[in-house]
Structure 1
Amino acid sequence: MIEQDHSTPKAEIDERIKKLQRRLMAAEIDGALILQNTDLFYFSGTIQQSHLYIPAQGKPLLMVRKSLARARSESPLSRIVPLNSPKALMTLIQDSGLKPPAVMGMELDVLPANNYFYYRKLFPDLDVRDVSLPIRMVRAVKSDYELALIREAAAFSDQVAEAMPTLLKAGMTEIELAGLVEAQARRLGHQGIVRMRLWGAEMFYGHLMAGPAAAVPSYLASPTGGAAVNAAVAQGPSFRKIRRNEPILLDYVFAWKGYISDHTRIYTVGRPPQKLVAAHHHMLDLQERIKAMATPGTSAGRLYSAAMEIAAEKGLSEHFMGAGSDRIQFIGHGVGLELDEFPFIARGQETRLEEGMVVALEPKLIFPGKGVVGIENTHVVSKDGLDQLTHAEQGIVSV
């Protein structure tokens, strides 16, 4: 087995499990059965095909279908056993010295319906409850270990942003430029996969679009969509050629050792219209004002309302976070192992910020037929507000 130099430390895994166990006990749930890849990785250090049982009290048990040898190499858990069939789950739990659960939690926000019905048939007497909220709340507040990896990802985001002017030329297609940027990210160690939890949500690196193509809306929960290469993808760069004096949007994710940094920068070949330059500066100002407000205890919904008020004050409501019925009702989102983690800085959200949460704040303006301006940075919540982790030039970069 290849030696791993990036395994999650045992103390880190142990602390995560303790936090979830406290929530399980408070909810009177005997244990949680975890199957989703990202949650598996978070609580066990591996995404090998497994069932992870975390009892409310006691040591967790990782039951592995494939690959057992790799799971034992990657995970610091002390109890890792082979699993030939899900039918053996309760027997393995009992044989490990744990009491079989009467009330068991599962990730019902992501577990496919057919899988749910299968487990209900296997264990008809079990009271199955949703533990997705406790899991996501534990994951929302990052440890020092996680923050160190996110800071590294953010530094790589800056390098990608700084490489963009050396790659950009008028006349090249969006997809050609995207390929060059993505190759640069890959050279730096981008893992390739960008994970999202929301059903049906997909992304490949991010969005790189220019001029009117950047303002084309699409299905994704994002202020931007893009003309794309075809209707099967329906987001991102297209075969459209980049022209002079139009804004070019680089909204890319850097995923490093599992963890994500999300950032947006605007470029141009030549000079964009002054109206768009002024609009971009308004978004930089809005960002700074929201950062100062985003202190621990502040509700996510309050920040969203404040951003909407600022956009209205600047006379930009019509273009803020989308145009017309395609406008989205958030200005930011948590990031970590997934791109869509808690908290969501969105309309009506009551989640209160806590120190250690990581938030991608992305105020953007969409001008149909013209393009997109705005900013996005990854931040960590501190006692004084949002501490910005991505630092590449925030103004429109002219090539």
Structure 2
Amino acid sequence: MSQRLTALCARITEAGMDAALLLHPRDVLYYAGTARPAVLLVAPHDAVLLVRRGFEYARREATIVRVEPMSGLARVAEVAAELGLSGGVLGIELDVVPARIYRRLAEVFPGWELADISPLVLAQRAVKDEGEIAATRQAAVVADAGHEIVPQVARAGMSELALAAEVEAAMRRAGHEGYQPLRHPGARGGGVLLMSGENLTVRGGHGLVVTGAGLSPASPYGASRRVLRPGDLVVVDIGSTCGGYTADESRTFVVGQATEQQRALFAVARTVEEAVLGMLRPGVAVADLYALAEAVVNQGAPPYFAPGSLALPGFVGHGVGLELDEPPILWPRDEARVQAEMVLAIEVEVSAPAHGAMVKLEDTVVVRSDGCEMLTAAPRELIIC
């Protein structure tokens, strides 16, 4: 068995589970090396990949030995019996498994209790190996390419949608895989988040951050048809994917010359990010990182922004990996501590509600024993277009 599967088996045993059945594509990819439609049955000393479609491709891609075609979940139960698994606790991903599949699993595994394995899987996935970090570094290059094009093409009179199209084209040319994998079934997963002017205050509900207005109620986030005007702030939040791994990078631009007020607001975001990066190392509580960020924001930026007039969205970062939003979340409600080789998006969004303004600065970093290594490389400044 691979090191990843061996580690998962140890976690399963420690949690009092007898076996696991992984159905979520990103989890199957992590442990079995393929994203083809398949499920992964994990026993204490064995694992079987059962493939619904694309069998020959999956067999070539798989990093485990036993790969079989799958005719239905009843076949999974048969394979479990062949492995000597006759009952007990079966771990499945309760955060993403549909109710219909859950009910079918209860039917074909009648002697089993179904338990949630997702926290164990996500905890293991949170710490990356050097291969995963290398893939994330390539995703960061893709995100950088998206930001690099903005000051070259953005201009007054251009729509948000047209600018987003330029950004996404640059990303695709750089190797972007075209989507941002997200774990929650109802979460958005396509296109960059790009917003300007009054759209910098629109929180559409897909996450805590400002999302932009989007094109319709059916897609209420990201770029709209709003036309850029001289003096507009423009925020571009890029989630890029390369080799299966994601990077997350946000930058703030201004169309034409920046005002002193805009520069002051961005300086707060830069100060927050520098403070968080300076504190980031193994063993630090993620809640303490948020508290530090909040303390900086609460000082405001006199004379332009009084103390207490600025706000964060309630968090200051999150994990990234095979999915764009992974644990831990850097907010007060998470009791986790930072670990070496975690890959995190330090996401600083500072709003001035009374002024209808927002700026953002976000970078993907890998935690090392003595601090952090920056993976994204676009200029960390208010960028003039």
TM normalised by structure 1 equals 0.91
Residue deviations 1:170-199 (CA, integer Å, cap 9, x gap): 101000111111111111111112111134
Which residue is 1:23 aligned to? 11
Task: Give, as a single letter, the amino acid of the residue that structure 2 aligns with 1:93.
Answer: A
Match of 1:144 among 119, 130, 143: 130
Residue 121 to residue 318, structure 1, CA distance change in 2 (3 Å): farther
Q: 1:1-399 residue pairs with structure 2 within 5 A?
A: 14-55=2-43, 57-95=44-82, 97-314=83-300, 315=306, 317-321=308-312, 328-368=313-353, 370-399=356-385
How far apart, CA to CA, are the structure 1 residues paired with 2:6 and 2:309?
A: 47
Task: Give, as a single letter, the amino acid of the residue that structure 2 aligns with 1:358.
Answer: V
Local SS of the residue matching 1:219: coil
Residue deviations 1:141-196 (CA, integer Å, cap 9, x gap): 00011001111111222222112111212101000111111111111111112111
Unmatched 5+ stretches in structure 1? 1-12, 322-327
How far apart, CA to CA, are the structure 2 residues paired with 1:154 and 1:265?
A: 13
- Contact persistence 2:298–2:310 (CA under 8 A): no
How far apart, CA to CA, are the structure 1 residues paired with 2:119 and 2:77?
A: 24
Which residue is 2:303 aligned to? none
Unmatched 5+ stretches in structure 2? 301-305
How far apart, CA to CA, are the structure 2 residues paired with 1:284 and 1:44?
A: 40
Local SS of the residue matching 1:346: coil
How far apart, CA to CA, are the structure 1 residues paired with 2:81 and 2:41?
A: 11
For residue 98 of structure 1, report the CA deviation from its aligned partner: 4.2
Moved more, 172-181 or 221-230: 221-230
Moved more, 84-93 or 135-144: 84-93
How far apart, CA to CA, are the structure 2 residues paired with 1:388 and 1:287?
A: 12
Residue 14 to residue 177, structure 1, CA distance change in 2 (3 Å): same
Local SS of the residue matching 2:52: strand
Residue deviations 1:185-231 (CA, integer Å, cap 9, x gap): 11111111211113421132321111111221211113212121111
How far apart, CA to CA, are the structure 2 residues paired with 1:228 and 1:319?
A: 25
Please provide the CA RMSD for this pair.
1.6
